Structure 1
Amino acid sequence: MNKTLTAIATACTFALGAPAMAQDLQEIDVLTPLPRHTAWYPLLVGEALGYFADEGISVELVNGGDLPATAFLENGQVQLAALDPSEVILAHERGFDFDVVYEVMHNAVEGIFVLEDNEAASLADLGGTTIGIVGESDRGLLLSALGHAGLSEDDVTIAVLGESAPLLANSLSNGQVSAVVGAISDFVAIRSQGIMIRSVLPDEMSKMPANNFAVRGDSIGGENEELVQGFLRAWAKSSYAGLVDLETTRAIAMEADPENWINEELGTIFLQAAQNLHRPEADVFGDVRHEIWSSVISEMVDVDMLDATFPAEEILNDHYLAAANDFDHAEVEADVAAWKAENM
């Protein structure tokens, strides 16, 4: 994920009505792979609409740098950490007690991109072709996807292309490769060259959760109970608010994350892709989907990343979901409309 979204933004906070005094807010430390960024628009929207302040919270983002993200959670340096499934699962195998309490992104941040007019209906139709990967870190995703599609590494030729937007786009448009495996930033990079693409990542992989909020298992019900509960409710409200009106969310993101909005058209493409990541399957924001996690655990065993399967319930916890989703959608829609009327 770190290579996925690399732009650095400066924080800019807005509020509807009278803002809460800073000294009245309790700080919550959250480990994320990015600073305030369009990809994390719920934070930007929540600060603009005052939802975190309403909960008596100020959000401090912690950058883990090169250290394992799980170390910050284990050492108590943060109350929550955004972790990918493999990080949580491998930590469990090492004996750490972490619980995923909220799925931040309900869809995979990666894709296997083909030209929009490509006749391939699925990845299975790309057997015998050359598939490009942006970098070596994308090879594992491709191999796993091939397995889901009934293919193997021997059925395709893999070419490492690098991150150059013109090269990725040209490789697709001139037929050098049939597909490019990369992340959301690579999708935007190819689109920036005027190339229309779609993803053929197998459905069961496209639902892979990413950047899930995890807590120490022994912290649930402890001294930070109300702090975490308030944060997750503000996050869920903000996630919904960011889906209500694209123009409003775009205006908030442009102000808070200007470096990703030098080109407004590309910024909009990026924002819409981010919205698709944060949009839940049903109406439950943050829903921890046990069946998806069980599939991930099994697949990690199949590719020898994990020694043995275990029940997904050992790392998933629905404890905060009811409170997180305890907000009125109509009121949020009214908040968005009010902000738009006042600021646009």
Structure 2
Amino acid sequence: MKYATFGAITAVMASALPATAQDLTEITVLTPLPRHTAWYPLIVGEALGYFAEEGVSVTLVDGGDLPATAFLENGQVDMASLDPSEVVIASVRGFDFDVVYEVMHGAVEGIFVLEDNPATSLSDLGGTTIGIVGESDRGLLLAALGHAGLSEDDVTIAVLGESAPLLANSLSTGQVSGLVGAISDFVAITSQGITTKNLLPPEMSESPANNFAVRADAVGGDRDEVIQGFLRAWAKSGYAGLVDLDATRAMAMEADPENWINEELGTIFLTAAQDLHRPDGEVFGDLRTDIWTGVIAEMAAVGMIDEPIDPSEVLNRAYIDGANDFDGAEIEAEVAEWKAANM
């Protein structure tokens, strides 16, 4: 894949004049996780120096129990990772946020059943008990049931908690027919020797997750170059992280050792994360208006908002072209160079 050459020119200039810590401008980003395998573009970008090349140092902010949108509203962060529902509901309530980059081009949750379960779609689970890891998973299940022509009355919902042995046992013994959870829960089940398949309705599997959003008044503002530099480094890192699994795994193992106690499970986690960060086409961070239109319509259908809004109210492509302004072949060479020097 060949992108425009501006990224190559930037990289050459950066190598000729390496940035020092004093030269870097801090950007604060609220994310649901720290430097974590699921967010490998940050790990890869720091290992390969892409953020520094853009003159940016990344400070992650943990939102804790506060709404992520509050951090943007109050100007406490430059950028926040938000799900579509958070963005749309904020817009309906009068907060002017722009999604400028889709971080993950697929749902981070799934509805997992045993691999040998004869069910081929969620509609086959009518009349059974379906487990959810926590109450935050209930909304996803209800929406998925609607897609399958079922309602909450057609199943029994059991809250199971996060214990890997309990989740695995509940599935394997038939106490629940399926389990609603995130990638981390899928890995937890796998760690117990349980093999599953995902029955999340296909139309929901493409829902964007963890989108980078900024205050609308930041676009074109005095932090514009910092935001653009961060997003270009992130896109380059997303590309680099897909080039060589062994290299990406080595970078992740160094930065996020907690998720690599079991290397096999760590690899499963990483490859699942790669699938989420891989764009549908060639454009990293692409804002897929048709997908957002469907998500917004669904939110209105289930009563989360009174009526659909136009996706253009929350999507802003101001930085997408600049984020993808790099040379893929050059990145591939840099990954190979890093691997030769570090592995």
Deviation at 1:189, TM superposition (A): 0.5
Task: Specify the alignment match of 1:337 in structure 2.
Answer: 336
- Paired residue secondary structure (1:181): strand
For residues 274-329 of structure 1, what are the alpha-carbon distances to aligned partners after superposition, in whole Å with 9 as ceiling and x for unaligned? Answer: 11111111111101111111111111111111122110111001111111011111
The question of 1:109 aligning with 2:108 is answered yes
Task: Specify the alignment match of 2:58 in structure 1.
Answer: 59
Task: Specify the alignment match of 2:184 in structure 1.
Answer: 185
- Paired residue secondary structure (2:251): helix
Counterpart-to-counterpart distance in 2, 1:85 and 1:331 = 33
Q: How many residues align?
A: 330
Counterpart-to-counterpart distance in 1, 2:130 and 2:238 = 35
Tell me, yes or no, if the aligned pair for 1:134 and 1:163 is still in contact at 8 Å: yes
Task: Specify the alignment match of 2:248 in structure 1.
Answer: 249
Task: Specify the alignment match of 1:25 in structure 2.
Answer: 24
Task: Specify the alignment match of 2:310 in structure 1.
Answer: 311
Task: Specify the alignment match of 2:293 in structure 1.
Answer: 294
Tell me, yes or no, if the aligned pair for 1:16 and 1:339 is still in contact at 8 Å: no
For residues 53-100 of structure 1, what are the alpha-carbon distances to aligned partners after superposition, in whole Å with 9 as ceiling and x for unaligned? Answer: 111111111112222211221222221111111111111011111100
Counterpart-to-counterpart distance in 2, 1:200 and 1:317 = 32
Tell me, yes or no, if the aligned pair for 1:103 and 1:286 is still in contact at 8 Å: yes
**With structure 2 as the length reference, what TM-score do the two structures score?**
0.93
Task: Specify the alignment match of 2:235 in structure 1.
Answer: 236
Counterpart-to-counterpart distance in 1, 2:277 and 2:310 = 25
Opposite residue 53 of structure 1, the aligned amino acid is A
Deviation at 1:102, TM superposition (A): 0.1
The question of 1:132 aligning with 2:131 is answered yes
- Paired residue secondary structure (1:323): helix
Counterpart-to-counterpart distance in 2, 1:125 and 1:68 = 36
- Paired residue secondary structure (2:98): strand
Deviation at 1:16, TM superposition (A): 9.0
Opposite residue 242 of structure 1, the aligned amino acid is G
For residues 103-129 of structure 1, what are the alpha-carbon distances to aligned partners after superposition, in whole Å with 9 as ceiling and x for unaligned? Answer: 001111110001122221111121222
For residues 146-173 of structure 1, what are the alpha-carbon distances to aligned partners after superposition, in whole Å with 9 as ceiling and x for unaligned? Answer: 0001111222222222222112112212
Task: Specify the alignment match of 1:322 in structure 2.
Answer: 321
Opposite residue 317 of structure 1, the aligned amino acid is N
The question of 1:275 aligning with 2:274 is answered yes
Deviation at 1:18, TM superposition (A): 8.8
Deviation at 1:52, TM superposition (A): 0.5
Tell me, yes or no, if the aligned pair for 1:19 and 1:50 is still in contact at 8 Å: no
Opposite residue 141 of structure 1, the aligned amino acid is L
Opposite residue 162 of structure 1, the aligned amino acid is G
Counterpart-to-counterpart distance in 2, 1:149 and 1:287 = 28
Counterpart-to-counterpart distance in 1, 2:151 and 2:63 = 35
Tell me, yes or no, if the aligned pair for 1:16 and 1:50 is still in contact at 8 Å: no
Opposite residue 268 of structure 1, the aligned amino acid is T
For residues 1-59 of structure 1, what are the alpha-carbon distances to aligned partners after superposition, in whole Å with 9 as ceiling and x for unaligned? Answer: xxxxxxxxxxxxxx999963100111111111121111110000000001001111111
The question of 1:157 aligning with 2:156 is answered yes
Task: Specify the alignment match of 2:4 in structure 1.
Answer: none
Counterpart-to-counterpart distance in 1, 2:15 and 2:174 = 51
Task: Specify the alignment match of 2:212 in structure 1.
Answer: 213
Counterpart-to-counterpart distance in 2, 1:120 and 1:312 = 35
The question of 1:259 aligning with 2:263 is answered no
- Paired residue secondary structure (1:342): helix
Tell me, yes or no, if the aligned pair for 1:16 and 1:48 is still in contact at 8 Å: no
Displaced runs of 4+ in structure 1, greater than 4 A? 15-19
Deviation at 1:184, TM superposition (A): 0.9
Counterpart-to-counterpart distance in 2, 1:16 and 1:38 = 27
Counterpart-to-counterpart distance in 2, 1:64 and 1:18 = 35
* 23-32 vs 59-68, greater mean Cα deviation: 59-68
Counterpart-to-counterpart distance in 1, 2:16 and 2:159 = 52
* 61-70 vs 220-229, greater mean Cα deviation: 61-70
RMSD between aligned residues = 1.5
Counterpart-to-counterpart distance in 2, 1:150 and 1:295 = 17
Counterpart-to-counterpart distance in 2, 1:57 and 1:237 = 14
Task: Specify the alignment match of 1:3 in structure 2.
Answer: none
Opposite residue 128 of structure 2, the aligned amino acid is T
Percent of residue pairs identical: 76
